[in-house]
Amino acid sequence: MLFNGVIKMTTTDTSAKKETFLSSLGGFFKDFIAAVAKGDFFVKLSVIWWGAGYIRRKQFIRTLLITALEAAVILFSIYFAPQYITKLGTLGTVKMESVFNLETMKYDVNNYDDSFQILLFSVISIAVWVVALFILMKNVIAVYNLQLKSKRGEHLNSFVDDLNALLNEKFHVTLLTLPVLGIVLFSVIPIFVLILVAFTNYDQQHMPPAELFTWTGLTNFINLFGGGGLSITFGYSFVRVLLWTLIWSLFATFTTFFGGVLLSLFLRNKRTKLPKLWRSLFVVTIAVPQFVTLLLVRNFFANNGIANTMLRDIGITQVLQNIGLIPSDYIPFLSAPGWAHVMIILINIWIGVPYQMLIMTGVLSNLPEEQIESASIDGATKWQTFRHITMPYVLFVTGPSLVTDFVKNINNFNVIYLLTQDVYTTTNQALANSQAREVDLLVTWLFRLTQEYYNYKMASVIGICVFVLCSVITLVAFGLMTRGDKEGVYN
């Protein structure tokens, strides 16, 4: 009954949030329609001339500002947007050509189309129009509210009053305007461009401005998920890389997490000598930049590195070679499947555990001591106390961080790339045909597809897959963690 109640409560909360968002969106459109229907002539005229409602109420500075904004949108729509929007359907038809001019003794380049510019500026144009439409609707609602206030004889804010409001009760609007604009320009628009590139043939053979690329529909998705043709290996590679990405994220997250918990408990134990010294030694791994550590460790475990030299000198390499575990006179720590996978996880433990140790030290210092004492009085063993009190509390406090770490490890570019670049070479031809390797994560595969092979179309598809994967894991994990009244229990 309790479990069913928790599920019902969670479902109700989620439904309520959806209804709140939808009702707010619906309310915005209802307010706009009501303003146009019930507003006076100047309110209706504000749909065409944005400043009409303000000039009727003698708010001349507002009129000037909103009219200037409207004029900028009109000029943008006339002189800038059409040259790109009209070509969005084809992404350009005129290729770049150069002809030698005997008169000037120079090459003349024709007025060619740049497919990427067409795509980018078309997205920007659409974004500008969407924002302009929102401002128009918000403006009509605002001037209608001014009309109602005027009828009721209420005070109408002057431009100075509005400025004072933006510095006082609406100061949050002032603070958030620039960050939101930055998010739209540097995050939202590039994401939409990335999504659209996935539906084109943008690759090394179709590189603008020398070449054009065009729309291909779902072809890239079909190729990635096992379609036919020359790209059939992408489906095989995607499954292999995805499985390793999930395995890596699972081990990288939980080995460092539980390693940090155990190390922190060890340092908190009263029988541990010189705990501050041990803690300081482990913190040194955090003080050293990660890329420096990874590059040093990569050289240490290279085929001709220090580790192989030492093992060869003491005869271990020869023993492993005799029993058939290695084919040559060195241990392929980072250059062969299996060996490389295990070594990457072990090296990540060395890098990640000290960081988790510091977090767990703070968490464990706030353990409910009265519960631990009560459990000890009742005869609970240390393992039972750890299992039923310590770990549930730690998981409750660090749950969001744990989910974040899991998603971060899905996109953990540094560890994989710095340890295996120029060291690992795949012998799997199917993976090589799609520019993938056994040790690649989706993010490192995506990086090399763009930076080394200029296969932007498949990189965009993989980028979408990474986004969907991270979103699903995050939503499911946080949904499970917010079930029930765990905070009330621990409080």
Average pLDDT over residues 282-310: 86
pLDDT tens string 316-334: 988 888 888 888 888 899 9
Contact call for residues 146 and 139 (beta carbons, < 8 A):
no
Average pLDDT over residues 85-95: 93
Q: How far apart are CA 11 and CA 32, in angstroms?
A: 32
Average pLDDT over residues 123-139: 94
pLDDT tens string 224-240: 886 655 456 788 889 89
Reply yes or no on whether the pLDDT at 278 is more than 70: yes
Q: How far apart are CA 233 and CA 223, in angstroms?
A: 8
Say which residue the tokens 């096992």 belong to. Answer: 226
Contact call for residues 36 and 140 (beta carbons, < 8 A):
yes
**pLDDT of 280:** 83
Residues 6+ positions from 400 with CB-CB distance below 8 Å: 478, 481
C-beta contacts of 360-365 below 8 A and 24+ residues apart = 360/260, 360/261, 360/263, 360/264, 360/265, 360/394, 360/398, 361/264, 361/267, 361/268, 361/279, 363/393, 363/394, 363/397, 363/398, 364/261, 364/264, 364/265, 364/268, 364/390, 364/394
Reply yes or no on whether the pLDDT at 45 is more than 60: yes
Q: Which residue has the higher pLDDT, 467 or 5?
A: 467
Q: Which residue has the higher pLDDT, 352 or 368?
A: 352
Query: C-alpha 331: how far from its chain's center?
Result: 37
Query: C-alpha 411: how far from its chain's center?
Result: 9
CA-based max dimension of the chain: 101
Query: What's the token pair of residue 483?
Result: 């079930």
Contact call for residues 215 and 115 (beta carbons, < 8 A):
no
Q: What one-character-per-residue DSSP string does 252-268 give?
A: HHHHHHHHHHHHHHHHH
Contact call for residues 410 and 391 (beta carbons, < 8 A):
no
Residues in the chain, how many? Answer: 491
Specify which residues 101 forms β-bridges with. Answer: 106
Reply yes or no on whether the pLDDT at 2 is more than 60: no
* Mean per-residue pLDDT over the chain, rounded: 85
Q: Which residue has the higher pLDDT, 105 or 453?
A: 453
Q: How far apart are CA 335 and CA 423, in angstroms?
A: 6
Q: How far apart are CA 458 and CA 455, in angstroms?
A: 6
Query: What's the token pair of residue 450?
Result: 């763009």
**pLDDT of 3:** 30
209 cis-preceded (ω within 30 degrees of 0):
yes
**pLDDT of 166:** 84
With H, G, I as helix, E, B as strand and everything else as coil, classify residue 106. Answer: strand
Residues 6+ positions from 134 with CB-CB distance below 8 Å: none
pLDDT tens string 365-377: 777 777 777 777 7
Average pLDDT over residues 259-273: 85
Q: Which of 365, 400, 402, 386 is nearest to 256 (CA)?
A: 402
**pLDDT of 123:** 95
Give, rounded to a whole angstrom, the gap between the first and last alpha carbons of the chain.
Answer: 23
Average pLDDT over residues 333-346: 91
Average pLDDT over residues 193-209: 92
For the chain, percent of residues with pLDDT exceeding 70: 92
Model confidence, pTM:
0.80
**pLDDT of 88:** 94
Q: How far apart are CA 309 and CA 302, in angstroms?
A: 10
Average pLDDT over residues 445-458: 91
CA distances for 485 relative to 14, 85, 388, angstroms: 15, 52, 17
Q: How far apart are CA 111 and CA 237, in angstroms?
A: 41
**pLDDT of 9:** 36
**pLDDT of 21:** 63
Reply yes or no on whether the pLDDT at 480 is more than 80: no
Q: How far apart are CA 458 and CA 394, in angstroms?
A: 41
Say which residue the tokens 């992408």 belong to. Answer: 234
Average pLDDT over residues 179-189: 89
Reply yes or no on whether the pLDDT at 66 is more than 80: yes
Amino acid at 399: G
Specify which residues 200 forms β-bridges with. Answer: 215
**pLDDT of 12:** 42
Q: Which residue has the higher pLDDT, 174 or 73?
A: 73
Least confident range of 69-78, 95-104, 132-141, 228-237: 228-237
**pLDDT of 5:** 40
Reply yes or no on whether the pLDDT at 22 is more than 50: yes
What would the CATH number be for the domain defined by 233-490?
Answer: 1.10.3720.10
Contact call for residues 295 and 305 (beta carbons, < 8 A):
no
Average pLDDT over residues 203-221: 91
Query: What's the token pair of residue 180?
Result: 């939101």
Q: Which of 252, 439, 250 is nearest to 350 (CA)?
A: 252
Q: How confident is the model at residue 76 (pLDDT cuts 50, 70, 90)?
A: very high
Average pLDDT over residues 467-491: 73
Average pLDDT over residues 450-456: 90
**β 98-101/106-109 pair status:** antiparallel
**pLDDT of 393:** 81
Q: How far apart are CA 282 and CA 361, in angstroms?
A: 13
Q: Which residue has the higher pLDDT, 385 or 409?
A: 409
Contact call for residues 436 and 445 (beta carbons, < 8 A):
yes
